[in-house]
Homo-oligomer: A and B are copies of this chain.
Amino acid sequence: MPFLEDIKVGHRRELGTFTFTADNIKTFAREFDPQPFHLDEEAGRNSLFGGLAASGWHVASVCMKLIVAEGVRARAEAEARGEEIATGGPSPGFRDLRWIKPVLAGDTLTYTSEIESVRATASRPGWGIVHSRNVAVNQRGEEVYSFLGSVFMPQRGERR
């Protein structure tokens, strides 16, 4: 994790890919979103989605899974380079989450994250807030999911 001063607007990182299967769609839906079009192929085909569709919250939770995995990789790489590593703070929330197109069984999404803004926070001296636009694109190149995430990150200056 870089410090606030090291985070550049426009920096884009690929978070990874995930394939939604009938099995993982139904497993998530049974616990958190048991609507017919998330549980049953025929109900999905007869719905506006046109097929067995992943819960939007499943699509969102997988994004978090990939953000964490990318963070672990980035941290290992920074450690290997001998860089000082910042520990990020909590996320206060996010804005403008969009489920743009259905995610159907068999779809593979590629998630990316791009830094949209970086600023120091008046309310938390020594910290700043980073906004990132997180996006998922399916195997046909169609954008299916997007949200503007926020996370607190420490400033390097205050820690030294």
A interface, CB within 8 angstroms of B: 31-35, 48-49, 55-57, 60-62, 64-65, 68, 89-100, 102, 147
A94 CB contacts on chain B under 8 angstroms? 97
| Complex: A61 Cα to B33 Cα, angstroms | 8
| Complex: A91 Cα to B100 Cα, angstroms | 9
| Complex: A4 Cα to B64 Cα, angstroms | 34
Counting every copy of the chain, the complex holds 2
CB <8 Å contact, B68 and A64: no
A62 CB contacts on chain B under 8 angstroms? 32
A100 CB contacts on chain B under 8 angstroms? 93
CB <8 Å contact, B99 and A32: no
A147 CB contacts on chain B under 8 angstroms? 93
Question: Smallest Cβ distance from A133 to chain B, in angstroms?
Answer: 14
| Complex: A91 Cα to B99 Cα, angstroms | 7
A56 CB contacts on chain B under 8 angstroms? 91, 93
CB <8 Å contact, A98 and B90: no
CB <8 Å contact, A65 and B33: yes
Which residue on B lies nearest to A65, using beta carbons?
Answer: B32
CB <8 Å contact, A64 and B32: yes
CB <8 Å contact, B99 and A65: no
| Complex: A65 Cα to B28 Cα, angstroms | 10
| Complex: A35 Cα to B68 Cα, angstroms | 7
